[in-house]
Amino acid sequence: MTFDLFDATLNRILAAGDYAGFKKALIDSNCDRCGLHKGRTNLVVDRGSPASRILVIGEGPGAQEDAQGRAFVGRSGQLLDKIMAAIGLDSEKDLLIANVVKCRPLDSEGQNRAPTPAEAQTCFPYLRRQIELIAPKVILLLGATAFRYMDPNRKDFSMGKEAGKFITLPDYPGIEAMVLYHPAALLRNPNLKADMWEHVKALKKRLVEMDVMKPAAGKAGNF
Ligand code: URA
């Protein structure tokens, strides 16, 4: 855990000794460490189960997430739930879903945008603490933003080449990580669904090998 000598609020949040305490401290903090707080309705910490051994990392909250204060509850989230159900995983029970940034990044037209490097870096201590407290066995990186910030050695990459790969994250060598397409990419380009199905089948095989899940039946490619 990295404390910042000059940021008492951050230190208090990071010092929480369990996940529920961390989440409450973060929400109660009314965090204003970057400019994203100005456009926020709710700070979005996660969705799912902190007891899960699978941590899913997305980019940042969208409109629905900002309104409800829960991660991945809009169209992308509904598709994510279907994809996971297709391999027998229940998002609410079997996953903890978080994001690189906890507040919605908006562009000048009021549309979602990717977080800037400064926003991502400012928010990163929260994601790091989530990883420490959850201690997942597997991390799923949804899309280029999650991949870029969790593996800073990757400068130029194409999701077309990286999606579906199991990787080792420099800061978390003991946790198995996998790069997956962000569900929003599948909503934009449904042709990617066939590849995604192959990727999540490989994921399921690995999770069964690791004894993270039982070889329960999914709903075969039904997303
Ligand atoms: N997209 C993300 O990356 N995260 C969310 O929580 C919702 C949509």
State in Å: Cα 73 to ligand 1 middle.
8
This prediction's pTM = 0.95
Q: What is the mean pLDDT of the chain?
A: 95
Q: Which of ligand 1's atoms lies nearest the C-alpha of 100?
A: 3
Is 183 close to ligand 1, i.e. is its CB under 6 Å away? Answer: no
| Per-residue confidence band for 44, with pLDDT thresholds at 50, 70 and 90 | very high
Other CB atoms within 10 Å distance of the CB of residue 100: 27
Looking at residue 97, its pLDDT comes to 99
| Per-residue confidence band for 92, with pLDDT thresholds at 50, 70 and 90 | very high
CA–CA–CA angle 211, 149, 107 (5° rounding): 125
Is 145 close to ligand 1, i.e. is its CB under 6 Å away? Answer: no
pLDDT 10s digits, 152-208: 998 899 999 999 999 999 999 999 999 999 999 999 999 999 999 999 999 999 999
State in Å: Cα 211 to ligand 1 middle.
28
Other CB atoms within 10 Å distance of the CB of residue 1: 10
Say yes or no to pLDDT of 5 above 90. Answer: no
Structural tokens at position 19: 């996940």
Ligand 1 pocket test, candidate residues 46, 59, 100, most atoms within 8 A of CB: 59
Question: What are the beta bridge partners of residue 138?
Answer: 54, 176
pLDDT 10s digits, 107-116: 999 999 999 9
Ligand 1 pocket test, candidate residues 72, 111, 127, 147, most atoms within 8 A of CB: 72
Say yes or no to pLDDT of 216 above 90. Answer: no
Alpha-carbon distances, residue 27 vs 22, 118, 126 (angstroms): 9, 21, 11
Looking at residue 161, its pLDDT comes to 97
Is 65 close to ligand 1, i.e. is its CB under 6 Å away? Answer: yes
Is 112 close to ligand 1, i.e. is its CB under 6 Å away? Answer: no
